[in-house]
């Protein structure tokens, strides 16, 4: 059996806390069996390595390993993604499609954020766990698969069970063996170790000398609550590596990068899905605004298409992904294809639209996509980036940039001064 140290090296796992070692040991022990494993732990603690270890050390290693983020797939699509669908099962199902459970036959499926699965999908999953049987969406033919399931969840799952959003029987089926990854604040001995590793990685990446912490800064780093765990620690290491001219980081400098609230508070575990990925409420609000803006841009693009073409069936086809993105797939049949919407759309189409405007709106749509990739940047960086991009796109024309950003020209002017653009 490979030693814990060898496994850590192979999978790039840093840290020596006994609790982390125990989790890895458990993964090694359970790997050769077909037992279902539930990995638990807060967001950012490193749950994703465990199913990889289990798969690689199992007899399934030559077959497929598929990781599915259950929280990221729209409710209306998830059954078809997991179990496949028959041709004609729903509008747009032009061909029979294999789902992950069929593709991964003989291999392993990692169901990340399993607590997010809709109840109907949970029933299907339970059946697979019980006897390997499943049905494609729109089919009545029972199929068989032999897949090992490793699932992961943050502590939310108990709340979900309480609220009857997650089946208790499924929970017990999934968690035959439970591997818990403790939060970073409970493995303080690993914090500085991880920081040094990240700092040296980022120094290489950005071709700059490695940042080093003073003793006081090490203390502050170790005492911090790290509600976003290792993911958050890595972000901070990256920010310091990129932004700090003075490569010796003092406790003061460090603290300016750490979220103010909750620094030394006892560990109150808040478990909302994205909470730990965002260090402050402001940032969460910012994310909400971004998502709203992206949705709005999607809607604008769709409206433009409709105004241009009028023929809603074609528009529907060409913009399938967009429509699903905006409305969620489960709603498409009830909402998108209803006639009242068509008549509404037709009345809008009577307005004249000039070509420039259309291009402009499409640009905005791409613009919205750009934004989504930048979640790791800090708030100010995000804003700065947005303004810069917008100005570039409009050759420095403030009026157009302000309109695109949805702010007044005056506010934009103020921001330009503030960021010294």
Ligand X SMILES: Nc1ncnc2c1ncn2[C@@H]1O[C@H](COP(=O)(O)OP(=O)(O)O)[C@@H](O)[C@H]1O
Binding region for ligand X (CB under 6 A) = 12-15, 41, 43-49, 194, 230-231, 234
Backbone angles phi, psi at 395, to 5 degrees: 50, 40
Backbone angles phi, psi at 212, to 5 degrees: -125, 150
Of 66 and 299, CB closest to ligand X? 66
Of 126 and 155, CB closest to ligand X? 155
Min dist. Cβ of residue 91 to ligand X (A): 35
Min dist. Cβ of residue 47 to ligand X (A): 3
Of 44 and 99, CB closest to ligand X? 44
In the beta sheet, which residues pair with residue 177? Answer: 37
Burial class (CB in 10 A: 0-12, 13-18, 19+), 137: buried
Measured CA to CA, the distance from residue 98 to residue 91 in angstroms comes to 17
Measured CA to CA, the distance from residue 254 to residue 28 in angstroms comes to 37
Q: Which residue has the tokens 């940042």?
A: 211
DSSP state string for 301-369: HHHHHHHHH--HHHHHHHTHHHHHHHH-GGGIIIIIT-HHHHHHHHHHTTS---HHHHHHHHHHHHHHH
Min dist. Cβ of residue 46 to ligand X (A): 3
Min dist. Cβ of residue 377 to ligand X (A): 16
With CB atoms as reference, the residue minimizing the distance to ligand X is 46
Of 184 and 213, CB closest to ligand X? 184
Of 9 and 418, CB closest to ligand X? 9
Min dist. Cβ of residue 406 to ligand X (A): 32
Measured CA to CA, the distance from residue 175 to residue 185 in angstroms comes to 25
Could you tell me if 54 and 150 are in contact, meaning their C-beta atoms sit under 8 angstroms apart? yes
Of 84 and 259, CB closest to ligand X? 259
Could you tell me if 229 and 183 are in contact, meaning their C-beta atoms sit under 8 angstroms apart? yes
Measured CA to CA, the distance from residue 409 to residue 385 in angstroms comes to 17
Of 193 and 349, CB closest to ligand X? 193
Min dist. Cβ of residue 95 to ligand X (A): 33
Measured CA to CA, the distance from residue 187 to residue 66 in angstroms comes to 30
Min dist. Cβ of residue 152 to ligand X (A): 6
């Amino acid at each position: 059996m490979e030693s814990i140290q060898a496994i850590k090296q192979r999978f790039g796992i840093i840290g020596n806390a006994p609790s982390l070692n125990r989790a890895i040991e458990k993964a090694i022990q359970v790997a050769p069996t077909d037992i279902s494993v539930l990995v638990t732990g807060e967001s950012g603690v490193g749950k994703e390595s465990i199913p990889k270890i289990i798969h690689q050390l199992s007899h399934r290693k030559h077959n497929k390993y598929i990781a599915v983020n259950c929280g990221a797939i729209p409710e209306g699509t998830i059954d078809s993604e997991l179990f496949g669908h028959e041709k004609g099962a729903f509008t747009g199902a032009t061909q029979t499609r294999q789902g992950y459970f069929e593709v991964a036959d003989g291999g392993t499926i990692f169901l990340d954020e399993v607590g997010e699965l809709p109840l109907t999908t949970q029933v299907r999953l339970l059946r697979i766990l019980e006897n390997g049987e499943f049905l494609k969406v729109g089919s009545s033919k029972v199929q068989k698969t032999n897949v090992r399931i490793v699932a992961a969840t943050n502590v939310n799952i108990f709340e979900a069970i309480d609220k009857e959003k997650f089946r208790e029987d499924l929970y017990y089926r999934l968690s035959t063996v439970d591997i818990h990854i403790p939060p970073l604040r409970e493995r303080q001995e690993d914090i500085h170790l991880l920081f040094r590793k990240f700092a040296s990685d980022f120094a290489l990446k950005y071709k700059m000398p490695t940042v080093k912490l003073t003793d006081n800064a090490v203390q502050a780093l170790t005492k911090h609550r790290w509600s976003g765990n290792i993911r958050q620690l890595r972000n901070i290491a990256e920010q310091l590596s990129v932004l700090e001219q003075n490569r010796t980081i003092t406790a003061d400098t460090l603290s300016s990068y750490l979220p103010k609230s909750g620094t030394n508070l006892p560990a109150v575990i808040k478990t909302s899905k994205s909470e730990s990925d965002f260090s402050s409420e402001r940032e969460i609000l910012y994310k909400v605004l971004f998502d709203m803006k992206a949705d709005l841009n999607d809607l604008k693009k769709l409206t433009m298409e409709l105004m241009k073409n009028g023929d809603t069936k074609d528009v529907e086809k060409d913009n399938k992904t967009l429509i699903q993105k905006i409305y969620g797939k489960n709603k498409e049949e009830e909402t998108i294809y209803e006639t009242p919407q068509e008549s509404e759309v037709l009345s809008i189409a009577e307005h004249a639209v000039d070509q420039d405007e259309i291009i402009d709106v499409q640009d905005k749509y791409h613009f919205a996509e750009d934004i989504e990739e930048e979640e790791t940047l800090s708030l100010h960086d995000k804003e700065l980036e947005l303004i810069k991009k917008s100005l570039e796109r409009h050759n420095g024309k403030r009026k157009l940039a302000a309109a695109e950003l949805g702010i007044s020209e005056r506010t934009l002017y103020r921001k330009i001064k503030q960021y010294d653009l």
